[in-house]
Amino acid sequence: MNKTLKKNNVFQKIGRMLKLNFVKLLRSSEGANKVALGFAIGFGLEMLVISTAGLIYVLLIPLVRLSKASLPVAIIGNLIGKVSLLPVILLPLALKIGKLIYPGRVRIVNHLRHFSFTDLLHGDFQGLINLLYGGLHVLIGMVILGSLLGFISYFVVNFLYEKEKNRRLKKRQAKFVW
């Protein structure tokens, strides 16, 4: 017999990936606080990836280690933040928040020069400075949004983890009742 394989569309694949990572998160063996803190750090730092051109990943492991959170859960939180496309959706809001916090106009020095990794390797940081100054308002807004979303996600994940733990405990107790 020829079995026809059903192809899932992109949205179904993303949904399945989110569900798989969330199940991995809830079945983590660490305590609720470690899991929630790791998720909050990973999810919050994902909001800063675009505005820092990926340099924020340098802080992920030290931040998780200093806070004594779970690194695998932080990576899962980062993946969920990446797949949800929330950082891209929140860019216009971050720009408005950044301009509200820092209303000054950012003057870019030598703005005709483009960013180049070869210049950076030769010690010329002017392109990197221009890149960072150009997105200063977005960076300020994304720091605020990332902190806020990380703070909220801590309590949500802590609640869901405890709820799932209690559900599994009740299921296990019901199994052994004579």
Residues contacting 112, CB < 8 A, separation 6+: none
Residue 28 has pLDDT above 70, yes or no: yes
State residue 96's pLDDT score: 87
Residue 116 has pLDDT above 80, yes or no: no
Q: Are 87 and 98 in contact (CB under 8 A)?
A: no
The reported pTM is 0.72
State residue 129's pLDDT score: 62
Task: Please state the rounded mean pLDDT for residues 140-165.
Answer: 92
Residues contacting 63, CB < 8 A, separation 6+: 41, 45
State residue 126's pLDDT score: 67
Q: Are 103 and 83 in contact (CB under 8 A)?
A: no
What whole-number distance in Å separates Cα of residue 128 and Cα of residue 135? 11
State residue 138's pLDDT score: 84
Please tell me which residue, 102 or 133, carries the higher pLDDT value.
102
What whole-number distance in Å separates Cα of residue 53 and Cα of residue 59? 13
Q: Are 71 and 64 in contact (CB under 8 A)?
A: yes
Average pLDDT value over all residues in the chain: 82
